[in-house]
Amino acid sequence: MKIMVIYDSTFGNTKTIADTIAKELGNDVQALSVSDLKENSLDGIEFLVVGSPIIAWKPSERMGMFTVATSCGWRRCASRSKLCVRP
Ligand SMILES: Cc1cc2nc3c(=O)[nH]c(=O)nc-3n(C[C@H](O)[C@H](O)[C@H](O)COP(=O)(O)O)c2cc1C
């Protein structure tokens, strides 16, 4: 299964957790900052782990935009069996 970890991080906490999760999931699993996403970055991905700082009880603006852009609303994400991680 092709897995990817997407994270946003301003102070580094979420990046540390994202990198750790990616490492534990396997050598071929990449943790990618949402800022570094390219148009085809998610091609072929079957399982997505999403990590975001919580800012004013919401995911960060960048991650909010990403989840909307990928039609994966923050709350719906969890119910679709895609793991959402909050540091
Ligand atoms: C401006 C600001 C607002 C925040 N608001 C919340 C919040 O509403 N709820 C919460 O639990 N944490 C909140 N936090 C804490 C961050 O989610 C937490 O420090 C997170 O680990 C930061 O992630 P990062 O190091 O990857 O940037 C806030 C932090 C900042 C700087």
Which residue carries 């700082």 as its tokens? 53
Residue in this structure with the two tokens 């995911």, named with its chain if needed:
59
pTM of the model: 0.85
Q: In the prediction, which pLDDT does 10 show?
A: 96
Look over the chain and give the mean of its residue pLDDT values, rounded to a whole number.
Answer: 84
60 lines ligand 1 (CB under 6 A): no
Q: Whose CA is nearest to atom 30 of ligand 1?
A: 55
Q: Residue of the nearest CA to atom 3 in ligand 1?
A: 55
Amino acid at 33: S
CA–CA distance, 19 with 25 (Å, rounded to integer):
10
CA atoms within 13 A on the CB side of 80: 16
- Closest residue by Cα to atom 19, ligand 1, is 53
Question: Domain 3-85 is in which class?
Answer: alpha beta
Residue-level pLDDT at 2: 92
CA separation for the pair 25, 35 (Å, rounded): 22
Q: Is residue 35 pLDDT above 50, yes or no?
A: yes
**pLDDT, tens digit, 9 for 90 and up, residues 49-63:** 999 999 999 999 999
Are the C-beta atoms of residues 53 and 85 closer than 8 Å to each other?
no
How is the chain split into domains, by residue range?
A: 3-85
